[in-house]
Structure 1
C-alpha cells in the first residue's frame, strides 16, 4: 500500500512567498510585528555635519619646560639618588660632584681677594704720595692698573663660582667646599639620568634631563593636502579612551609655516582647554585628534537605523509595504546621534527603516538560518 501526503494551498503559497523573499534577500513583516517591534520608516536626513580632519598628535611641553642639566667643570660623582621618573622641585639637589678644579677655583678667588685688598691699600698710598709730589706719577698709574686687573679677575672668579652654586659669603670666611651641588633648574620629573657613583663628568656631559609638567600641549601633524583648511583658533577633539571617556577639547594656537619634506606635513601647536585633563596627560603620549574645519551637508540616519558591520553598516530599505531589503553602506562621521551614510545608490527620497533596524536584522538572520 502506498501512502501519499497532501498539503493545503495556503501552506504552499506561504512557502513559495518565503522562497521568493529569500531569493530577493528581503523580509516581509506583518503590521502587528512592525507595531510590536516599534519599527519606524522615513527618508534620510540632510544634516550639517562638522567637517573634520583626522590627525595624530603627541603630548609635549614648551622649551622652557625642558632642561638639560650639566656642570661647567670637571669632577667625579660623589652621590645621587635620582632615577628616571623621580619627581623634582626647582632648586632640589640632584647629585653631588667632587671636583679638584672647584677647590682650586675657590683658592684662586680667596687669593685674589687678599691681593686686591693689598693693592687697594697700595693705590691709596700712591695717591697720597702723588698729591705730595713725593713719588713719580708712573707708580700711581701702575698701582691703578694692577687694582683694575685684580678686580676683574676677582669679579670673574666670583661669577664662575656663583654659577657653580657657591655661597660667596661662606667662602669669604675661608669655608672652602670640595663638592658641587647639582640642582634642578625647573620643577617636573627626571626623564634621563646618566650618573653613577664615581663617574667622571666633564662640562660637555648632560647629567640629567628634566621635563616640566606645566603647560602641556599637543604637537599635531597635518598632511600637505589639508593645509588650506587649517586656521588658528579651530577647535580640536582629542580621542583617547585612556585620557577620558568624555570629549576633551583643544584649540589650535600656532600653525607651522613650513612643510616637512620627509613627512609632507605641517606642525600645529594645540592648547588643551581643560586643565584637569591636561594634568592627566603624559609627555610623549600619542593622541588621535579630529580638527573641526567648518560644516558640510551630508546624508544621515539615526544610530538606531544602522546595523554596524566593522567600518561599514547595513540599513533596510522599504521596497514595498511591510517588505524590507538590506543594503550595505559606508559609514562616515557620527555626530549627536546621527551617522553619515555613503552609498552609490540615490537614497535621498527612499523610505528607510529609521528605528528598529537591529530587530529586522535579527528576524532576517533567523529566516536565513
Structure 2
C-alpha cells in the first residue's frame, strides 16, 4: 500500500489529467442522456410545452381556438399557433396582423398601391322633357268684343307666325277708329290730338299698316284678326265662337316646340360633380335605341324642400318634333369637375365604414408573410367606384382592396385595433366562441353572392316568389291598394310553396330565420286596405327579401335593387325591379322618378 501511494505521488500530474478528462466526459454523456431520456425509461424529462402553453387557431376562422394542433372544424385547414398571427420582434409594430400565405390566398386578399389620378364620376339622373319657357306666347284680348270666327278649333294645332287665330268684333275699337278719322281733319292744327288717337289704337295691338289702311279707307274696320306672334303649337284654347270677351281675357297659348328643355333631378350628393356646359347623354323610353346629347345650361340655385333635389337643365333641338313635353328621360353626366387635378384615389371595396370613421388596412412592406396595419383615413368626395383620400394615406402605400372584412374580423378576435374596436383589446375567449352562432359565418359568405351550392329547385321556387313580387310592386307604383292585396296573395301562395327541405345545414337555418318576417310582412300587406299602411309593411319585406336573394340567388334573372331616400318618412327604403328605369312604388305618380339603382344582382 505504501508503495502504491509512493507511485501516485511520483505520477501526480498523470492522475490529475485523468481526473479532468473523466469530469469532461461525464458532462458530455450527462447532457446527451438529458436529451434522449424520457419518463418511460425512469428518468424525468423536461416538458417545455407545459411551461409555454400555445393556443392554436385557424387563420381563416380566428374564432376557433384550441389548446393543441389539429384541423379547423369549419374549413379543415391546419391550425396554426395564435402567436404567428401577431407581430413580434423589436423592429415591427405590435399591432400588425400577420397572415400565412395560404390563409391570404384562401381569403382572396388582394392589394393595390395607392396612386394619384383624376377623379371622375358618371352621375345618373332622371327627369322629364319640358317646353322652353322662353318660347311660350300667351295671347290675351287687348279690347272687349265678340268672337266672330275661330281659325283654331282644337289644341295641338300647328300655326305659323302671323297666321289668323280668330276674328273679333269690338264696338270699342270701332269708336276709337272714328275718333282717329275725326282727328285727321285737325292733323295740321292740333297734331297732338291726332297722335293721341293713333296711339290709342297702337295700344290695342293695331299695326301701323292697319292704321294707315283705316285712314286711306276713311271708314272704320268692323272686324279685327288675332294673329299668332310665333310659329308653334296651340296648347290652350280658352274661347269659342260667339263668346263675349273682356279686355285681358285669355285667348290662346302658343308654344314653339322646335327647342325643348330637359329638366333632370339631381340629388344633393350629385351637385358637386355637375357644372355648367357639362355634356348630358340621355335616352327616352318612347324612342328606344336613340341617344341624345345636350349641354348643361342651368343649375337650380335652390333645393326643393319636398323632393330634396335640384333641377339641372339642358337644351335640345327638336326640329323633327319627335320629343314631346312630359316624356320621361334617363340621363347621365360624365363629370369633368376634376379635370386637371391629381388626387389620391382608392376603390370603395378597400374601405370599411363605421359611421363617422373610414378604415383601411395597409400592407406592411418587407415582410416574409402578408402583414397588415389598421389605419383610419379622411375621405374626400366620391368619384364613381373610387373615393378621393383627403388624409391618412401616401402615394405608393399598399392597401387591401378585397377580403378587407376578413382581415378586420381576424384583428378584432385577437385583440388588435379593428373597425369596431379602434383602441384594440382582448379578443374573444374560446369559451365565448363556443357560444357564437356558427351560422353567422356561413350567412356572411352567402350574402356576398356565394349561391352556387344552393339547390337549383329551391332557386326556381324563390324565383317564382320574385316574379309574383314584381306584380305586387306594380300595384304599389299604381297606388292601387286592391291590386296590391290581389297580387300579395299570389306572393304568399308562392312563398308557402318554397320547400326548405331542399336546403341543408346553415343555409336551412338562414331561410328559417328570414321566412317568418317575410310571411309576417305579406300578412300585414293583406291585412290593410290603406296603401300607406301597405307600404310600411312593404319596406320590411324588401329588407328581408334582399337577404334571401343575396344568400340563395335567382334562376336566370337579373334584378335591380333600387333606393329612394325620401321614402319611409325620409329614412329611405328599397325595392326590386326588373328594369333599371326608376318607378318609385312608395310615391307612385307623385314622385315616380325619385330613386336610383344601388345594386345589380345577376
Q: Normalising TM by the smaller chain, what interval? A: 0.5 to 0.7
Distance in 2 separating the partners of 1:277 and 1:164: 31
Q: Against the structure 1 CA distance between its residues 163 and 169, is the aligned structure 2 distance closer, same or farther, given a 3 Å change threshold? A: closer
Q: Against the structure 1 CA distance between its residues 114 and 102, is the aligned structure 2 distance closer, same or farther, given a 3 Å change threshold? A: same
Q: Against the structure 1 CA distance between its residues 342 and 191, is the aligned structure 2 distance closer, same or farther, given a 3 Å change threshold? A: closer
Which residue, 275, 281, 296 being the options, matches 2:384?
A: 296
Which residue, 102, 107, 112 being the options, matches 2:178?
A: 107
Match in the other structure for 2:232: 188
CA deviation profile, 1:146-203 (whole Å, cap 9, x unmatched): x253244244235235536861222112142111101111101110101111101122
TM-score (norm 1): 0.57
Match in the other structure for 2:263: 219
Match in the other structure for 2:210: 167
The alpha carbon displacement at 1:331 in A equals: 6.1
Which residue, 272, 284, 289 being the options, matches 2:326?
A: 284
Q: Against the structure 1 CA distance between its residues 198 and 166, is the aligned structure 2 distance closer, same or farther, given a 3 Å change threshold? A: farther
CA deviation profile, 1:113-157 (whole Å, cap 9, x unmatched): 11224x2xxxxxxxxxxxxxxxxxxxxxxxxxxx25324424423
Q: Against the structure 1 CA distance between its residues 332 and 229, is the aligned structure 2 distance closer, same or farther, given a 3 Å change threshold? A: farther
Which residue, 229, 251, 269 being the options, matches 1:207?
A: 251
The alpha carbon displacement at 1:277 in A equals: 8.1
Q: Against the structure 1 CA distance between its residues 166 and 98, is the aligned structure 2 distance closer, same or farther, given a 3 Å change threshold? A: farther
Distance in 1 separating the partners of 2:301 and 2:308: 12
Matched, 1:150 2:193: yes
Match in the other structure for 2:287: 243
Matched, 1:90 2:168: no
Structure number with the higher strand fraction is 1
CA deviation profile, 1:89-119 (whole Å, cap 9, x unmatched): 00000000111011111101111111224x2
Q: Give 4+ residue runs of structure 1 displaced > 4 Å after superposition.
A: 275-278, 312-318, 326-334, 340-343
Q: Against the structure 1 CA distance between its residues 288 and 49, is the aligned structure 2 distance closer, same or farther, given a 3 Å change threshold? A: farther
Equivalent pair of 2:164/2:225 in contact (CA under 8 Å): yes
Q: Against the structure 1 CA distance between its residues 148 and 116, is the aligned structure 2 distance closer, same or farther, given a 3 Å change threshold? A: closer
CA deviation profile, 1:311-356 (whole Å, cap 9, x unmatched): x9978879xxxxxxx974986899xxxxx9779xxxxxxxxxxxxx
Matched, 1:233 2:277: yes
Tell which structure's C-alpha radius of gyration is larger: 2
SS at match of 1:290: strand
Equivalent pair of 1:109/1:157 in contact (CA under 8 Å): no
Equivalent pair of 1:96/1:180 in contact (CA under 8 Å): yes
TM-score (norm 2): 0.36
Equivalent pair of 2:273/2:335 in contact (CA under 8 Å): yes
Matched, 1:68 2:138: yes
Q: Against the structure 1 CA distance between its residues 159 and 235, is the aligned structure 2 distance closer, same or farther, given a 3 Å change threshold? A: same
Equivalent pair of 2:180/2:194 in contact (CA under 8 Å): no
Match in the other structure for 1:179: 223
RMSD after superposition? 4.2
> Which 5+ residue runs of structure 2 have no aligned equivalent?
1-109, 113-117, 337-382, 387-400, 402-446, 454-550, 563-578, 580-597
The alpha carbon displacement at 1:215 in A equals: 1.9
Match in the other structure for 1:31: none
Distance in 2 separating the partners of 1:77 and 1:313: 72
SS at match of 1:216: strand
SS at match of 2:200: helix
Match in the other structure for 1:307: none
- Number of equivalenced pairs: 251
Matched, 1:80 2:136: no
Equivalent pair of 1:49/1:297 in contact (CA under 8 Å): no
The alpha carbon displacement at 1:286 in A equals: 2.7
Q: Against the structure 1 CA distance between its residues 257 and 49, is the aligned structure 2 distance closer, same or farther, given a 3 Å change threshold? A: closer
Equivalent pair of 1:248/1:277 in contact (CA under 8 Å): no
